[in-house]
Each structure stands twice: as C-alpha cells, then as structure tokens.
Amino acid sequence: WYNNLSEQQQELYDAIEEGCPEFQKLSTDDCDEFMSELADIGIYTASEFSDAYYGQQDGWNAEAVFAEELCLELAPANVEDTPYWFAIDWQRVWDHSLSYDFSTIEFDGVTYFFRNN
C-alpha cells in the first residue's frame, strides 16, 4: 500500500505517523480514509500537516478538554488559581471562540485538532 502512494502522499503518511504514533495500528483503508479527511480540510502535504496539527484528545468531551488545555497553555502561570477559572464552560469556549480557528477530524475514537490557515 505504502509503495503505491505518490511521494507527496508517502511524506504525508510519514508526518502523520511521526505526530500520531497510534496511526501505525490502522488498516490501509483507515489510513486512506484519514488522509482523505485531511484533504477535506485542505491538508495535502507533510509540511501542511506539520504546520496545522495542534494535538489530539480522546473521550466524549474532547473539544472542551482541548479548549481548557489551550487556554492554560496560553494563560499566565497563576491564572488557574483565580476563582472565575473554575466556572468556565470549556465547551462553550470551544463552540463560540476556538472552533473558528481550528478544524477537527474525529477518527477511531480520537479527535484531532488542526489550526486553520
């Protein structure tokens, strides 16, 4: 399967495998499907994948967890100690703020996050 891919597709597959090690366990049909879903959001090359890939979450509230982790990453070190931080609806943050800046692919029980360009 891999040898039948174009050079660009092989490089993309290698970048996906490097960024998402669990990708190795997928069948060739699943790999084709994932790469097709990447194309649907405008990712065709390894460099586009590397530039856009921001992370992944598994579980039913992946978007909310992603929103919280991103905000913690970008926030000052002591912000999580402030009282309002505990009352944030992270799913709402995703829905109303972050979902415009990121695309997602839900695949094999995991949600993959990609920055929009």
pLDDT of 1-41, one tens digit each?
889 999 999 999 999 999 988 888 888 899 899 999 999 99
Tokens of 3: 């040898």
Helix boundaries (H) for 2-78: 7-19, 28-40, 46-52, 62-74
Question: Which tops the pLDDT comparison, 60 or 51?
Answer: 51
Beta-carbon count within 10 A of 60 CB:
9
Q: Is the pLDDT of residue 59 over 90?
A: no
Q: What average pLDDT does this structure show over 55-60?
A: 89
Residue type, 65: V
pTM above 0.75, yes or no: yes
Q: What percent of the chain has pLDDT over 90?
A: 58
HSE-CB at 106 with a 13 A cutoff on CA atoms is: 7
Is residue 57 classed as helix, strand or coil in its secondary structure? strand
